[in-house]
Amino acid sequence: MFEKGCLAGKVVFVAGGTSGINLATAQRMHDLGASVFVMSRSEERVTAAVAGFADPLRAAGLAGDVRAFEQVEAAVTACRARYGLIDVVVSGAAGNFLARAADLSPRGFRTVIEIDLLGGFHVFKAAYPALRRPGASLINVSALQAFVAMPSQAHACAAKAGLDALVRALALEWGPEGIRVNSIAPGPVNDTEGMQRLAPNDEARTDLTRAIPLGRWADKRDIADLAVFLASEMGANISGAVLVSDGGYLAGRMS
């Protein structure tokens, strides 16, 4: 259990922070005392997300597309102008859909690469000048597709594997400055748009649950708490890691 106020004084920037895991992470860090700035493509979603935080003085946001570096840079600049140097960056914007490789258009493949991989690079590069050194924690939200091939997921497998490789490279380059860079790879998570697409019916959900040794899907809070751990002093010696939270799903697939 994290102590209330354990993130007091921290500034958190969350890309893709208006829905799903990323919004839950932003809300959890806000509840633990951080000032939070969220960004996503939809201005309406940004407004709604900001309105949902308990303390309006510690919540703000700006609409922007992670595929456009200048828009990410503008959001980071706005965050720094409002709250000062950034302590935690969560890069979680993602795009996905089911499509077999033979049917996948080059545009569809490129779109996922641009949102996930290029977007992740944009977020971290734009945030770099505004980071508090030493002590900044950069957290990428990855996926199990980075580890195991999945049918109809060639685009996501490529994007997430690239992201995790980027995380390791940045951990090497930025570690000497006291900047930690890590990935979180969730397994199936309840009440998320991504899993609604990947397991759209009861049969698919049941089959997937059977493959999880713990017999349960994660809640968004499970992933949010893992991000809090990486952002806190408890994760002070962790960098270049990909932390999996999947109930044991990968255990029988990587031996």
Please, which residues have CB within 8 angstroms of residue 44's CB and are 6 or more apart in sequence?
none
This prediction's pTM? 0.95
**85 in Cβ contact with 130 (< 8 Å):** yes
What pLDDT does residue 209 have? 86
- The residue extents of the domains of the chain are 11-248
What are residue 242's DSSP bridge partners? 183
Of residues 111, 113, 170, the one with CA closest to residue 140: 170
Count the neighbouring beta carbons within 10 Å of the beta carbon of residue 3.
Answer: 10
What pLDDT does residue 213 have? 92
**101 in Cβ contact with 153 (< 8 Å):** no
**12 in Cβ contact with 88 (< 8 Å):** yes
Task: List residues with catalytic annotation.
Answer: 142, 160
* H runs (alpha helix) in the chain: 20-31, 43-51, 69-83, 106-112, 119-127, 154-174, 193-198, 202-210, 220-231
What architecture is domain 11-248? 3-Layer(aba) Sandwich (3.40)
What pLDDT does residue 183 have? 98
What are residue 180's DSSP bridge partners? 137
User: pLDDT 10s per residue in the chain (255 long)?
Assistant: 788 899 999 999 999 999 999 999 999 999 999 999 999 999 999 999 999 999 999 999 999 999 999 999 999 999 999 999 999 999 999 999 999 999 999 999 999 999 999 999 999 999 999 999 999 999 999 999 999 999 999 999 999 999 999 999 999 999 999 999 999 999 999 877 766 766 667 777 888 888 899 999 989 999 999 999 999 999 999 999 999 999 999 987 765
Count the neighbouring beta carbons within 10 Å of the beta carbon of residue 133.
Answer: 11
